[in-house]
Amino acid sequence: MLKLGSVANRLISEELRFTYDPKPIMCLSSGISQAIVRFIKTQKRHPKVGYHLKALLENLIENVEGDVWKNVRRSLRRDAEILKSLSITIDFGKDRLYVV
C-alpha cells in the first residue's frame, strides 16, 4: 500500500486534473504496467478482440524482444490482479490484453 503525504494528496486533488483516478495506477509495481493503464484510460474505444500485447508494448517502449519481453511479461504478471481491478485483463497464453 502506498501512502501519500498531505502535500501530495492536495496536489492530486486540487492541481492535477485527470479524467481517471491516478491513485490505483500508482499502486502498480512496474512502470510498464502504469504506462499501459494510462494509455488504455486515454483511449475512448478499444477493440473487442483485445490488443495484441506485443504490438501495444511496441508503442510504449522501443525494444520488446528477448529478455526485455520476458521481463515485461514478468512485471505484468506481478500486477495482474491490480490490472484486473482496473478492468484490464491480460491473457498470457494468447498474449492479448482486454479492456472489460
Q: What ranges do the domains of the chain cover?
A: 6-99
pLDDT tens profile 68-86: 999 999 999 999 999 999 9
HSE-up (13 A, CA, CB side) for residue 74: 6
pTM as predicted:
0.75
Contacts by residues 61-64 (CB-CB < 8 Å, ≥ 24 positions apart):
61/32, 61/35
pLDDT band per the 50, 70, 90 thresholds, residue 17: low
Distance of CA 50 to the CA centre of its chain: 14
Whether 7 has a pLDDT exceeding 80, the answer reads yes
pLDDT band per the 50, 70, 90 thresholds, residue 2: confident
pLDDT tens profile 19-54: 667 788 888 999 999 999 989 988 889 999 999 999
